[in-house]
Amino acid sequence: MFVVFALLSAACYGAADFLGGVTAKRANTLAVVVVSQLAGLLILLAIFPLLPPAAPARTDFLWGALAGVTGGGGVALLYRALAIGVMSVVAPTTAVCAVVIPVLVSVALGERLAATTFGGIALAIVAIILVSQSSSGKAEPGSEADRRRTKAFLLAVLSGVVIGFFFVALAQTSRQAGLWPLVVARTVSVSLFAVMALFASQSLRIPTAILPVVAAGGALDMLANLLYLVASRSGPLSVVVTLASLYPASTVLLARLVLHERLSGRQWVGVACALVAVAVIVQ
């Protein structure tokens, strides 16, 4: 069952990133991060009374706080990269880095995987790389477009590393903690970036026209976090993270359908590899 939850989290992460990237082009990145994350927190708090009681330990709160810092930071870097770069390149680049960190950590902690599972993980990484092959023309070296793409790529790499640690932190929480780690994580991230915006004298106002889209992105991101948390508590971390990191497939497909970004032949091969990787990993 953890496979289904992990794949659903990937779909939600990809859709949330797409909405975040689109809105970050029309509003301040910090404002988009704070408002979207606040929307997700409010939704979580609304359903919290309906959930069974939980018994979180002190360590669960600490891991939740770390998840809030890394998750919020990773999202902020990702949204900025999506706003200035090519969406079908930025999202997969982030995913490659995000999947490597937890896999290395889980193996270092003694997690044993079958050879076929390792093969599936490797194929998933190949799929992510192939999906990142943009069909858009190359920018002239030294041009403004070239500098923007380079900056977007560096932000995507940094974002992926930070998000990788977010995956690790959230997976360390116990089942007995329920959803408290998510509440702590989202409270920390919203507070942190609101303070950052205050010190940077940046407005948190969002244009009315895109406010529902920003809120929808936050809701999808929270749903993705919830699904990932459930999956990580019932399956191997390396497998769950790999499946969850297939989210660029939905981001790229949405960019194709909504923004009419063209998919190259390599990107279509990458999508096919992603499907095969899932089949290999879950067998």
Q: What is the pLDDT of residues 80-103, one digit of tens each?
A: 888 887 777 787 778 878 887 887
Residue 226 structure tokens: 């919830």
pLDDT at 42 (0 to 100): 94
**Length of the chain counted residue by residue:** 283
Query: What's the token pair of residue 234?
Result: 């019932």
Range of the structural domain that residue 170 is part of: 2-282
- Mean pLDDT, range 230-238, rounded to an integer: 87
Residue 274 pLDDT > 80:
no
Q: Structurally, how many domains does the chain consist of?
A: 1
Residue 86 CB contacts under 8 Å (≥ 6 apart), including other chains: 134, 136, 149, 152, 261
Cβ contact 10:242 at 8 Å: no
Give pLDDT, residue 135. 55
Banded pLDDT at 189 (limits 50, 70, 90): very high
Q: Cβ distance 189 to 76 under 8 Å?
A: no
DSSP string of 190-216, one letter each residue:
HHHHHHHHHHTT------TTTHHHHHH
Q: Is residue 71 a contact partner of residue 98, using CB atoms and an 8 Å limit? A: no
Q: CA 248 → CA 17, 107, 198, 239, distances in Å?
A: 9, 24, 32, 17
**Quick one: average pLDDT of 172-198?**
92
Query: Which of 24-33, 113-122, 158-167, 244-253 comes out lowest in average pLDDT?
Result: 113-122
Q: Which whole number is the average pLDDT over 119-145?
A: 68
Instruction: Assign 158 a pLDDT band (cuts: 50, 70, 90).
Output: very high
What confidence category does residue 173 fall into, taking pLDDT thresholds of 50, 70 and 90?
very high
